[in-house]
Amino acid sequence: MKPTLLLKDMGGSSPELTISQSLRGPEPLRTISVTSGKGGVGKSNIVVNLGLALAHQGHKVLLIDGDLGLANLDILLGLTVQFTIHDVFSLRKSLSEVLLEGPAGLKVLPASSGIPELADLDGPRKIFLLDELDHYAGEIDVVLIDTGAGISRNVLFFNIAAGERIVVANNQPTSITDAYALIKVLVTRHGKKRFQLLVNGVSHSGEAESVYRTLLRVAERFLGRETTLEYLGFIPHDEAIPKAVMKQQPVLKLYPQAPASKAFTALAQRIWEVTPQGGINGNIKFFWRRLLQPSGL
Ligand SMILES: Nc1ncnc2c1ncn2[C@@H]1O[C@H](COP(=O)(O)OP(=O)(O)OP(=O)(O)O)[C@@H](O)[C@H]1O
Ligand SMILES: [Mg+2]
């Protein structure tokens, strides 16, 4: 399996990037969106458990709840939210006042209900956010973003800003069609060409690979050969996940021996073994800048 990251995704060279790279040493920040066309395919559970698995493996992880309308990372982690990303957007709170600490030192940037548009943030708010994020340079080496489902502007914002995109689908035809629709918008309107597919909720690898082949076939036919959709693997259907959700704990924490938990651990390893092509995503401020000033939206 070949790595995914595109240097050109970062919008060309940047002096800021060069400086931050030399300050941060050889470990660049990775920003990974976990996204889907169809809702309810398992994104939030994947973000929480993959984040926890990465933290167990020694990484400094920030989870961003990018589902600004239907936030629920905090619920899945059993965290009490006092302030949210909206308080940062509206200049009421600093990032450090809003960030929560989850298990194994996970940092979580929670959202809340209501659908603010990232596009509506004005200049001073954007600058405030960028400055706030500067404090965390070096304290985070991977950002996982739960984007919410669909092709709304906020979903697209996070997917454009992320250096890597994990598209989640299950074996339902609608989930495959909707994954295709999302990929198509990101390719045709925003020039994204590389995606990784993670299949969730299937019973065996053959089923997952069949989902991958179906999506790949349509994507190749309609989007051209230069679009890369890589197969990242699958998380099995596992009743331990809804059981853990009911208890507001990650399945990996509550049932570490469950098949899904083992799959999350293996997935975290695989993601880290696959070094992004070009090797860099930039620093956290750079990520936020791409988020707040995307092209073509
Ligand atoms: N591998 C799995 N096996 C069994 N149940 C699962 C699995 N993955 C997710 N689920 C269940 O599916 C439901 C939806 O999961 P989740 O909330 O993570 O999806 P989502 O993609 O974030 O949804 P939304 O688009 O609404 O944000 C949850 O009730 C969860 O318990
Ligand atoms: Mg969700």
Calculate mean pLDDT across residues 246-267.
Answer: 98
The two most distant CA atoms of the chain are separated, in Å, by 51
As a whole number, mean pLDDT of residues 96-111 equals 94
Q: How confident is the model at residue 85 (pLDDT cuts 50, 70, 90)?
A: confident
The verdict on the CB of residue 248 being under 6 Å from ligand 1 is no
Q: Give nearest CA residue, ligand 1 atom 30.
A: 242
Atom in ligand 1 nearest the alpha carbon of residue 45: 18
Q: What is the average pLDDT value for the chain, to the nearest integer? A: 83
Q: Which atom of ligand 1 is nearest to the CA of 67?
A: 27
Return the pLDDT at 199. 98
What integer pLDDT is reported at residue 126 of this predicted model?
67
Residue 120's pLDDT is what?
66
What is the distance between the alpha carbons of residues 234 and 276, in angstroms, rounded to a whole number?
20
Taking CA atoms only, the protein residue closest to ligand 1 atom 28 is 242
Average pLDDT over residues 145-159: 89
Q: Is 199 helix (H, G, I), strand (E, B) or coil?
A: strand
Ligand 2 centroid vs 275 CA: distance in angstroms? 27
Ligand 1 in reach of 171 Cβ (< 6 A): no
Residue 278 has a pLDDT of 39
Q: Has residue 283 got a pLDDT over 70? A: no
Q: Where are the beta strands (DSSP E) in the chain?
A: 30-36, 61-65, 100-101, 107-109, 142-149, 164-169, 194-202, 228-236
What's the CA gap between 12 and 24, in Å, rounded?
A: 20
Per-residue confidence band for 296, with pLDDT thresholds at 50, 70 and 90: low
Q: Which of 46, 29, 36 is nearest to 186 (CA)?
A: 36
Does any ligand 1 atom lie closer than 6 A to the CB of residue 203?
no
Report the share of the chain in percent with pLDDT over 70: 80
Which atom number of ligand 1 is nearest to the Cα of residue 235?
1
231 beta partners: 197
CB atoms within 10 A of CB 269: 13
Which ligand number lies closest to the CA of residue 167? 1
The model's pTM is: 0.86
Q: Does 1 have pLDDT greater than 60?
A: no
pLDDT band at 230 (very low <50, low <70, confident <90, very high): very high
Percent of the chain with pLDDT over 90: 53
